[in-house]
Chain A
Amino acid sequence: MIQLTKRVEFCAAHRYANPRWSAEENARVFGRCVNLHGHNYVLEVTVQGEPAPETGMVIDLKALKDLILETVNSRFDHKNLSGDVPELADTNPTPENLAVLIWELLAPALQGCRLARIRLHEDGSTYVDYAGERRAAPSAAGAGHAA
C-alpha cells in the first residue's frame, strides 16, 4: 500500500463569524479574525492505494491535480470564503471546516484509490489534518473518542 501526496496552493479571503452570536460576542471569541482578511493556503491531498500493475501508478498525478483544481481551486482560489462558496454558507471558514469540506468533495470523486488525508496549511506555522473521522454521534453515547 502506497500513500501519495499532491500539493496545490490557493489564495482566498475570509472572516470568522457565528451568526447566532452578537457582534460583541463574535469580536470577543474571534478577535481580529472577524475582519475580512486572507491567506495563501497550501493544500496537501494524500491518497492511498496499490500501484496498478499496468502503469505502476496509484493514481495518475495529472488526473489528481486536475481533480483538485476542478473541485477545490475552482471553488476557493481568489474567492471570498465568507460568501462565495455555497457549501460554506452555514459554516465558519476555519481551516478545520475547510479541511472537512475538501475531504467531502474529493473522497467520492476519487477512482481506483482512496483519500487518506487532507492537510491544509493556513500559513507557515499552522496546519490542520483531517482523515474523514467523526466522533460517534450523540445518540451512540459512550462509543465516542475521548475529547
Chain B
Amino acid sequence: MPPEARGAPLAEVTRAYQFSAAHRMHNPAFSAAENARLYGRCNHPTGHGHTYRLAVTVRGPISPDTGWVLRAEELDALVGQHVLARFDRANLDQLIRPADGVTSTTEVLAGVLWRLLDGALPAGLLWRLRIEETPNNFFEVNRPLLQRAADPPDRPGPAAGTQKASRP
C-alpha cells in the first residue's frame, strides 16, 4: 500500500522553553494566619521565584512537503510572543486574573498558559503542556484530560443529548 493511501502519520513534537518569574501564593479570602498555614513558605510576604521550564507539545499530521508537524520557528515565535514576552522576568501575581484561579499555583498557571497558547496556535494543534516549577515539581495539562473534564462519563454524552433536551 503506498504511504499516501494510508494517510499522513500523526506525530507529537515537543519543544522546551524556560522563564523566570516571581510569585506569592496567597488567597485574599483567607486570613493571614490561614494563608500562612495553607501555603507555608510559599506565602512569604515579599514573594519568591522560580525558573519555570515549559514543554509545549503539538500533535498533528506530518506535512508531506516539509516533514514537519509545525515549523519550529513558528512555535518558538508564538511561545515567545504569548508566554515568554509576558511571563519571563515578571511577577505572576500581576498576570493571573481572578477568573484564572485564586492564586498563582502552577496548576493555575498551567491553565493560563493553555488558554493563551491554544488561542494562538492553529485550532486543535496544541496537545500538552508540562511545566516544571522546580525539577521536583511538575504539572501537566493535555487535550484528552481537558476533554474528559469537560465531558465526564457520568454526564449525558452526545447520544443522550436529545433525551436531556426533552426533559422538562
Assign chain B's interface to a size class.
20 to 34
Chain A residue with the shortest CB-CB distance to B14: A127
- Complex formed: what's the CA distance from A69 to B5 in Å? 30
Interface-facing stretch out of A1-9, A50-58, A89-97:
A89-97
Q: Scan residues 55-84 of chain B and give those whose CB is less than 8 A from a CB of chain A.
A: 57, 60-62, 65-69, 71-73
- Complex formed: what's the CA distance from A91 to B68 in Å? 11
Question: Which of A16, A29, A126 interacts with B13 by CB under 8 Å?
Answer: A126
Q: Scan residues 96-147 of chain A and give those whose CB is less than 8 A from a CB of chain B.
A: 96-97, 99-100, 124-130, 133-140, 144-147
Q: Determine if A99 and B60 form an interchain contact, defined as CB atoms under 8 angstroms apart.
A: no
- Complex formed: what's the CA distance from A128 to B11 in Å? 7
Q: Determine if B7 and A135 form an interchain contact, defined as CB atoms under 8 angstroms apart.
A: yes
Point out the residues of chain B lying under 8 angstroms from A134, CB to CB.
6-10
Q: Determine if A135 and B11 form an interchain contact, defined as CB atoms under 8 angstroms apart.
A: no
Chain B residue with the shortest CB-CB distance to A136: B7
Chain B CB within 8 A of A74 CB = no
Q: Determine if A29 and B10 form an interchain contact, defined as CB atoms under 8 angstroms apart.
A: no
Q: Determine if A135 and B12 form an interchain contact, defined as CB atoms under 8 angstroms apart.
A: no
Q: Determine if A137 and B62 form an interchain contact, defined as CB atoms under 8 angstroms apart.
A: no
Chain A CB within 8 A of B160 CB = no
Q: Determine if A137 and B5 form an interchain contact, defined as CB atoms under 8 angstroms apart.
A: yes
Shortest Cβ distance from B33 into chain A, in angstroms?
43
Point out the residues of chain B lying under 8 angstroms from A94, CB to CB.
62, 66-68
Q: Determine if B8 and A135 form an interchain contact, defined as CB atoms under 8 angstroms apart.
A: yes
Chain B CB within 8 A of A18 CB = yes
**What 9 A-B pairs are tightest by C-beta distance, nearest first?**
A92-B67, A94-B67, A129-B12, A146-B124, A125-B16, A137-B7, A135-B7, A133-B10, A134-B7
Contacts from A to B (Cβ < 8 Å): 16, 18, 20, 29-31, 91-97, 99-100, 124-130, 133-140, 144-147
Contacts from B to A (Cβ < 8 Å): 4-17, 57, 60-62, 65-69, 71-73, 123-125
Known: A29-B66, A96-B67, A96-B68. 4 other contacts (CB 8 A): A94-B68, A129-B12, A137-B4, A147-B60
Q: List 30 A-B contacts (CB under 8 A).
A: A18-B65, A20-B65, A29-B71, A30-B66, A91-B67, A94-B66, A94-B67, A96-B62, A96-B69, A99-B11, A100-B11, A125-B16, A125-B17, A126-B13, A126-B14, A126-B15, A127-B13, A127-B14, A128-B13, A128-B14, A129-B11, A130-B10, A130-B12, A135-B9, A136-B7, A139-B5, A140-B7, A145-B10, A145-B60, A147-B124
